[in-house]
Amino acid sequence: DVKVTQSSRYLVKRTGEKVFLECVQDMDHENMFWYRQDPGLGLRLIYFSYDVKMKEKGDIPEGYSVSREKKERFSLILESASTNQTSMYLCASSLPLGGGNTGELFFGEGSRLTVL
């Protein structure tokens, strides 16, 4: 089974703090993604990566950055946390589309971040 592990299930941080959310997958997937889930807004894509040291902005990248130094690890960074970044953060990985693969995403359990 594919395993996507997020380092922290619950975090509480103060405004202005730097926050690191770590994600590791064990299936040698090329693609990795960070989404946030908010009530009434569904899942919105923050950043994604199709390869090591590669990153692309998603739909809501403002206030976030990412790092992918190794294939299995994709980190989300909040340089200066703000209250509107209180959310559930979901990491996912997938194989590329093509070759009969639909690019199904495998998600971690999520990290609930509260910024006070």
Partner 1 sequence: DQQVKQNSPSLSVQEGRISILNCDYTNSMFDYFLWYKKYPAEGPTFLISISSIKDKNEDGRFTVFLNKSAKHLSLHIVPSQPGDSAVYFCAASRSSGDKLTFGTGTRLAVRP
| Of 72 and 107, CB closest to partner 1 | 107
Question: How many other β-carbons are positioned within 10 Å of the β-carbon of residue 80?
Answer: 11
Q: Does 35 bind partner 1 (CB under 8 A)?
A: yes
Question: Minimal distance in Å, beta carbon 87 to partner 1?
Answer: 14
Question: Minimal distance in Å, beta carbon 60 to partner 1?
Answer: 12
| Of 12 and 18, CB closest to partner 1 | 12
| Of 16 and 103, CB closest to partner 1 | 103
Using CB under 8 A as the criterion, which residues of the chain lie in contact with partner 1 when the complex forms?
4, 31, 33, 35, 40-45, 48, 50, 58, 90, 92, 96-98, 102-110, 112
